[in-house]
Amino acid sequence: MRMMLRMRVDTAIGNAAIKSGALAKSIGAFIEKAKPEAVYFTVDNGQRAGYFVFDMTQSSTMPSLFEDAFMTLGAEVQLTPVMNLEELKAGLAAM
């Protein structure tokens, strides 16, 4: 299932993680594992944030995908199922 992850990092923890290299390492590891089709970085509610759209085939992959962000970055994670235009059209046609 296509999912959109919002990962928001506390400013103080993010500052330290940038200085130590942990931020780039953690995000790089996530990208390597999840192989997202799209990645965007922004500011969300005054904090560093990244949005990642990727396919999650099994919910059991959640720990391997997110635990590093929780433990290393103190990240707040929000995971939402999403669809693209073709999937929306297919869903509407099935009604």
Domain boundaries, the chain: 2-93
Structure tokens, 51: 């949005």
pLDDT of residue 82: 98
Question: CA torsion sign, 23 to 57 to 36 to 8?
Answer: negative
**Helix, strand or coil, per DSSP, at residue 53:** strand
pTM of the model: 0.91
Which amino acid is it at 16? A
pLDDT of residue 64: 93
Mean pLDDT by 10 residues, the chain (95 residues): 96 96 96 97 96 96 94 95 96 95
pLDDT of residue 54: 97
2-93: CATH number = 3.30.70.260
